[in-house]
Amino acid sequence: MNRRPVFLMSVLAFGFAFFYVPILSMIVFSFNNARLATVWGGFSTKWYAKLFANDQVLDAAWLSVRIALTSATVATILGTMAGIALARFRRFRGRTFFSGLVTAPLIMPEVITGISTLIFFILISNLLEAAFGWKTQRGFTTITLAHITFSLTFVTAIIQSRLRDADIAVEEAAMDLGSRPWQVMKDITLPIISPAILSGWLLAFTISLDDVVITSFTTGPGSTTLPILIWSKVKLGVTPDINALATITVCVVGLGVIIAGILLNRAERRRDLDAQMAYRANE
């Protein structure tokens, strides 16, 4: 298909300009010398220096990273379990309900998830205090629990679609040859989905690192994550140091995703090649 309609290509070009001009403009203005964030006043890296001297920003970033690491790991384990359950166990009691339960957080508006989780946490905390006299406070734990719940469904979606594409015959063959279910899982299913598990973890990590709405409902005094800090600052307007912070975030995440993408792509291609070679050798 070599026909290249001019209209489609120009919309494509316009679309990519639309995607990237705002981000590029933000990056350029992070090197702006002037105090006003929107008028150019010469090149400078002083906002970066200012940023790295700001303990508040560093503390918030560290808290965000800790929450993201914890929640992404737990969410990946739970999400992979749910994905395997939905893609490989054809019939179990409550399957339809379970698949609805897994997709619901994906389409639920974040405000509603946030508010219901907050009400739940408040009631639980009241209960704990009334029953055991145990005073609890919202913070790291509540944010992490909410992030796990929210992001595990994304992991499930990725795992499920990978398993749907994968050939179930290999697993069945292993089972026919006398492998026990757990062995099949460990030696065949998990290696097949390992790239999907990695991308699921990455997605869960960035979702957690990025979340504002659900975090703002589940956070407590003294637990300010980076997005919450940025949110409270940008409500007051555009400032050059937030431009610098945004540039760092965008570059780190962007580079990470690009590198992970290239590595995953290469691993996948190598596996396809191996599979082809094995297939030819058997012919």
Q: 96 or 282: whose CB is closer to another protein?
A: 96
Least Cβ distance, residue 278 to another protein (angstroms): 25
* Among the listed residues 166, 192, 194, 210, the single contact to another protein using CB under 8 A: 210
Residues 6+ apart with CB under 8 A from 163: 83, 84, 87, 88, 189, 192, 193, 196
Select from 126, 114, 121 the least CA-distant residue to 141.
Answer: 121
Phi, psi of 43, rounded to the nearest 5 degrees: -85, 140
Residue at 20: amino acid letter: Y
Residues 245-264 close enough to bind another protein by CB under 8 A: 246, 249-250, 253-254, 257-258, 261
Give the per-residue contact string, 77-106, with another protein (x = CB under 8 A; - = no): -xx-xx-xx---x--x-x---x--xx-xx-
Residues 6+ apart with CB under 8 A from 139: 219, 220, 221, 222, 223
Least Cβ distance, residue 114 to another protein (angstroms): 8
Q: 106 or 275: whose CB is closer to another protein?
A: 106
Residues 161-200 close enough to bind another protein by CB under 8 A: 178, 180-182, 185
* Among the listed residues 148, 158, 163, 196, the single contact to another protein using CB under 8 A: 148
Q: In angstroms, rounded to a whole number, what is the distance separating the alpha carbons of residues 214 and 226?
A: 13
23 touching another protein, by CB under 8 A: yes
Gyration radius (Cα) of the chain, Å: 24
Task: Compute how many residues bind another protein; rule: CB under 8 A.
Answer: 92
Residue 225 CA, distance from chain mean position: 16
122 touching another protein, by CB under 8 A: yes
Contact 136, 128 (CB under 8 A): yes
Q: 235 or 280: whose CB is closer to another protein?
A: 235
